[in-house]
Amino acid sequence: MATVALSNLSGKSVLITRPAARDVAPAMQAASRDGTITLDTSGILRIGVSFFDEALLVFQDIISETGNDDLRLVYRKAPTMQSLKRLAHNRGFALFETPSGEWVISRSGLR
């Protein structure tokens, strides 16, 4: 499972814009080859609605390009993002939280 360290990649501790999410898109595409894209939010103080929504659109594009409906997006260390859960559902994704606090987002539902 490939992990995208958002803090290291962006050099920021706050990710709030759509362009910031698009900057992460190439790393997400590369990570998708393993079947799971893990976005590690360690060192990130805040993720905004625009960043999160755009990252979901990038994820949706990757699913469309690869045809892999079983692809999963995992947000690691996401406790400050509780208000964003509804966005995943609005985009047609299933979202569940693991006992360790990771968010697992997928099109194919809970597994």
Look at residue 34 in the predicted model and tell me its pLDDT: 85
CB 40 within 8 A of CB 74: no
Look at residue 30 in the predicted model and tell me its pLDDT: 93
Look at residue 80 in the predicted model and tell me its pLDDT: 60
Quote the tokens at residue 62.
């990757």
What residue ranges do the domains of the chain occupy? Answer: 2-106
Annotation: CATH topology of 2-106: Ribosomal Protein S8; Chain: A, domain 1 (3.30.1370)
11: helix, strand or coil: coil
CB 95 within 8 A of CB 62: no
Q: What is the CA radius of gyration of the chain?
A: 12
Look at residue 111 in the predicted model and tell me its pLDDT: 44
Query: Whole-prediction pTM value?
Result: 0.89
pLDDT in tens, the chain (111 residues): 689 999 999 999 999 999 999 999 999 999 998 889 999 988 888 888 999 999 999 999 999 999 888 889 988 876 566 778 888 988 999 988 888 888 899 987 644
DSSP 46-73: EE-HHHHHHHHHHHHHHHHHH--TT-EE
